[in-house]
Structure 1
Amino acid sequence: MLKKFAVTNYRGFKNRMEWDLSHPSNYTFNNDAIRNGMIKNGIIYGPNGAGKSNFGLALFDIANHLSHKWKKPDYYLNYACAAHYDEPVDFEYTFALDGHDVVYTYSKVAAELKGEIIREQLLIDGKEVLMKDNERLNISEEFGLTEVAIENLKESANNISLVNYLLGAVPLPKGHALLLLRDFVENMLFFRSLDNREFIGLKEGGSNIEEYIIKNGLADDFADYLHEVSGQVFQFAPGIPGENVLYCLMDSRKIPFQWVASTGTKNLELQYYWLKEMGNASFVFIDEFDAFYHHELSYQISKRLFEGPNQVFVTTHDTFLLSNDLLRPDCFFILRNNEIKAICDLTDKELRFGHNLEKLYRGGTFGL
């Protein structure tokens, strides 16, 4: 699980911003949102322009050099903060991985739409096993690298990730913390559906969602899902061999689903797809997940997203979700002014189960 994340100088985040998920409060309700002493599920609020989307993208920077899954093609455009565009962006991740504490920090610059790592450090259970910057290179003897290999890495001009190099070049025993780190990052997922649908991680290429539904015989299951979460009734026609279009039956006529589905219903199709695919996801971040939803629909989708074992966080502006019936005060975050904090840390008031969090939020209790 992700315990802590910090970033400095990324896009609009001029100063260091830290997000700590390892210190939940002692609430006695909705304990499913906490796992192994860490926050598993959460909702992030913040004013327009505060940086919620950029925060999600910053979280997934690690996937750009440690994962072989799908990347955002234009990720390195507008990379560093404009005020310090010629300085590196600093990242710090702390993971709890099957009994190991893994701290991975690095600094990266963007060059020709690519990222170059200029500093890299890895600590496993408090022990430094890798460190490289402009002046030094230290690699733990446990990796068994020859002096020649170490010298070549020290003099290399292609700014490769040493973590990635070790994963590809060194035989590691099953359960090694480095392999656990790779597996976690390979299974991270970011997605959103606003003007354009896009995602990072988990899969190696794009997918046609309707083709996925048809090929896997999920048309009836998709219809049940739409009815359960939104009350809409659809009947889908049997798939036509060689055709990847989902058809609705309306008065015995076949009409393409995309012709009759509203914007929100099309977005539900995307949510349905990822709910099916994210079973093995380690960490999921959904940006503006409910941009086209009625508030009751947002609530139903949230419940589905949070019921699994994986860490799932979403951003929204829907204050209807600010409810102790859904989560708890240490799982609702506000991002503003280069900080992200749980609402329980933004007030001296003791927040209890009976409090109306939405009313408190709208009344300015948490500073908004």
Structure 2
Amino acid sequence: MLVQFSVSNFRSIEEEVVFKMISDSVREHTSHQISTNFRTPEKLLRFGAIYGANASGKTNLIEAVRFARDLICSGREPDEPLNPPYFRFSGSRSAEPTCIEFILWIDNELYTYGFAVSARRIEEEWLYAQRPGAAERKLFERKSDEDGAIVDHGKSLESPGFSGKVITLVETTTRNNQLFLYSLADNNHKGVLPVVDWFRKTLTVVSAVAQQRQLLLKARDDRRFSDFLSTLLKRVGTGIERVELEGRKIDIKRDLSFFPPNIKKDVQLSLSKLKDGQGIILSMEQMQRIYEKKDGAILEYHLQAIHKDRDGNEVSLPIEEESDGTQRLVHLSPLFADAIDQDKVVFIDELDRRLHPMLSRALVELFNETGSTNSNTQLIFTTHDTHLFDQDLLRRDELWLMEKNKWGASQLVSLLDFDIRNDVKLSRNYLQGRFGGIPKIKYDLTNGSDRYVEV
């Protein structure tokens, strides 16, 4: 689970902002708390909602998480630049590194992992671990200068097969644009795999316009998921009775008419090169298809929404003909289905995008409901939906506000920083500007029509 995330010098974030999933003394919604065996943090939270005006930096916070995940999981090619997107409204910041740090609770152990990265190299990197009732121990610290990088590793990083000499060898072969954590995991060091696997398997980052590329495969191969999706769509009143994945044999010269000519030729070429048992997933705007070659034939799979007409007869529509809101819901559904029986930490940018406020609220309630059988599931999201800014739905320590200062730098504050009673109508106070994080709209805009003279 995520305990804390901090970042500085990243896009609109100049000074360090700290986002916490640590439970405070709020008494409401105790089901949102997850107990640890540590004195600090004693309890973690299930939700985190981040509010703020457009361009306040909410997306940049989530993009910093994505940047770190990609660097940890995918690494860098030998000559690939790091190029972190530093804060650009201060000239001195371009010479300073971007710093990112995570505190994670994994298998009843706390891990603190972070790094400082410049355009040229990994400047610093560190990993510590702590068990309940024990002191924090150092796994490694890395620092770089013009002569190269030095890694100071703790004894706890050594294990059978990974003596100090082996660790030093990994150190000397780690490029200056590569994380030492990535190199250790690439060499199958089991001591760091829990951390790396958290980023690979537990963490999910969803952008405002993202599509789940594995959606169709999941609908085809996981009957439980397709049943879940059908139930969800019916429950929230989309008019869909159920969803089905339909497959058919196609002629690649005749049956790809929905692809534009400039793309169609590339698709035909890719499909013609498939070998038996191979397949590809293709996405274009709202459309998604699976193509597979089986017994010499090309099979096409697509998701269909089944409705009923006024006479009770079934009517089948491709899912891309449904509303944008329904399609957004369909592509978010795997995250909620996985929360039932898997440890997940999900970041979603603009949870409410294209969704009715009542549906956004239903999704938060659904996540809490489905995650109740798995206490190690968290949902962190940005939103403008004031219907979710509600103490009947979320705890005050689960609500955050992002706002830019006069120099264009994003600052993050917790709602706990304000003196608020537990019966206050939060949404009304928020829209009145009591907590900040709202647009500063100037209503006395000058009409520019009289500023120009025709000649």
Normalised by the length of structure 2, the TM-score is 0.68
Give the structure 2 partner of residue 243 of structure 1: 300
Indicate the larger mover: 9-18 or 157-166. Answer: 157-166
Unaligned segments of structure 2, at least 5 residues = 36-42, 131-135, 249-298, 405-409, 439-455
1:296 to 358, 377, 380: 358
Q: CA deviation at 1:104?
A: 1.3
1:365 to 434, 437, 440: 434
Give the structure 1 partner of residue 126 of structure 2: 121
Q: Cα gap change, 1:75/1:322 in structure 2, threshold over 3 Å: closer, same or farther?
A: farther
Indicate the larger mover: 120-129 or 143-152. Answer: 143-152
1:218-251 deviations in Å (ceiling 9; x for gaps): 5554332112123523455673353312234565
1:184 to 168, 187, 198: 198
Instruction: Write the distance in 2 (CA, Å) between the matches of 1:75 and 1:362.
Output: 43
Instruction: Write the distance in 2 (CA, Å) between the matches of 1:6 and 1:127.
Output: 21
Q: CA deviation at 1:55?
A: 0.2
Instruction: Write the distance in 2 (CA, Å) between the matches of 1:216 and 1:5.
Output: 33
Give the structure 2 partner of residue 213 of structure 1: 219
1:348 aligns with 2:357: no
Q: In the alignment, is the contact (CA less than 8 A) between 1:189 and 1:281 conserved in 2?
A: no
Instruction: Write the distance in 1 (CA, Å) between the matches of 2:240 and 2:118.
Output: 50
Normalised by the length of structure 1, the TM-score is 0.82
Unaligned segments of structure 1, at least 5 residues = 200-205
Q: In the alignment, is the contact (CA less than 8 A) between 2:122 and 2:176 conserved in 1?
A: no
Instruction: Write the distance in 2 (CA, Å) between the matches of 1:156 and 1:322.
Output: 46
The amino acid of 1:26's aligned partner reads: S
The amino acid of 2:398's aligned partner reads: C
Matches within 5 A, 1:138-157: 138-142=152-156, 143=158, 144-147=162-165, 150=168, 153-154=171-172, 157=175
Instruction: Write the distance in 2 (CA, Å) between the matches of 1:47 and 1:185.
Output: 29
Give the structure 1 partner of residue 118 of structure 2: 109
2:411 to 339, 343, 350: 339
1:320 to 379, 387, 391: 387
2:96 partner SS = coil
Q: In the alignment, is the contact (CA less than 8 A) between 1:193 and 1:267 conserved in 2?
A: no
1:64 aligns with 2:131: no
Matches within 5 A, 1:39-118: 39-67=45-73, 79-82=85-88, 83=90, 84-110=93-119, 116-118=121-123
2:416 partner SS = helix
Instruction: Write the distance in 1 (CA, Å) between the matches of 2:119 and 2:338.
Output: 31
Q: Cα gap change, 1:364/1:193 in structure 2, threshold over 3 Å: closer, same or farther?
A: closer
1:303-360 deviations in Å (ceiling 9; x for gaps): 1123313111111101011112211111111112332222121x233x21x3211112
Give the structure 2 partner of residue 27 of structure 1: 26
Q: Cα gap change, 1:110/1:198 in structure 2, threshold over 3 Å: closer, same or farther?
A: farther
Q: Cα gap change, 1:326/1:282 in structure 2, threshold over 3 Å: closer, same or farther?
A: same
Instruction: Write the distance in 2 (CA, Å) between the matches of 1:99 and 1:246.
Output: 40
Give the structure 1 partner of residue 142 of structure 2: 132
The amino acid of 2:108's aligned partner reads: G
Give the structure 2 partner of residue 38 of structure 1: 44
- RMSD, matched Cα: 2.9
Instruction: Write the distance in 2 (CA, Å) between the matches of 1:93 and 1:357.
Output: 30
1:317 partner SS = coil
Give the structure 1 partner of residue 317 of structure 2: 255
Q: In the alignment, is the contact (CA less than 8 A) between 1:214 and 1:246 conserved in 2?
A: no
1:59 partner SS = helix
Q: In the alignment, is the contact (CA less than 8 A) between 1:106 and 1:117 conserved in 2?
A: yes
Identity of aligned residues (%): 21
1:3 partner SS = strand
Q: Cα gap change, 1:124/1:15 in structure 2, threshold over 3 Å: closer, same or farther?
A: same
